[in-house]
Amino acid sequence: MRTTLDLPESLLRDAMKLTRMETKTGVIVLALKELIRKAKIQDLKQFRGQIDLQIDLDTMRRRDS
């Protein structure tokens, strides 16, 4: 999808350097994916301590005590 955006050039340039992305599109797509990922994590935090998963880490890691 083609979209016209008015973005601060310095902000975009800094983001491209930090992420080592070569294209403006690539850095914007990465930023959107990260935004979505962080929002999903934030949504999951509401369930902290409310779900009993009964996970035995030693069994999962195939360790015998």
Alpha-carbon gap, residue 14 to 61, rounded angstroms:
41
pLDDT value of position 64: 59
3-state secondary structure of 39: helix
List the domain boundaries for the chain. Answer: 9-60
What pLDDT tens digit does each residue of the chain (65 aa) get?
A: 899 999 999 999 999 999 999 999 999 999 999 999 999 999 998 888 887 778 888 888 876 55
pLDDT value of position 54: 81
The alpha carbon of residue 3 and the mean position of all alpha carbons in its chain are separated, in whole angstroms, by 23
Alpha-carbon gap, residue 34 to 15, rounded angstroms:
13
Residue 15 CB contacts under 8 Å (≥ 6 apart), including other chains? 21, 27, 31
pLDDT value of position 47: 85
| Burial status of residue 28 (CB atoms within 10 A of its CB: 0-12, 13-18, 19 or more) | middle
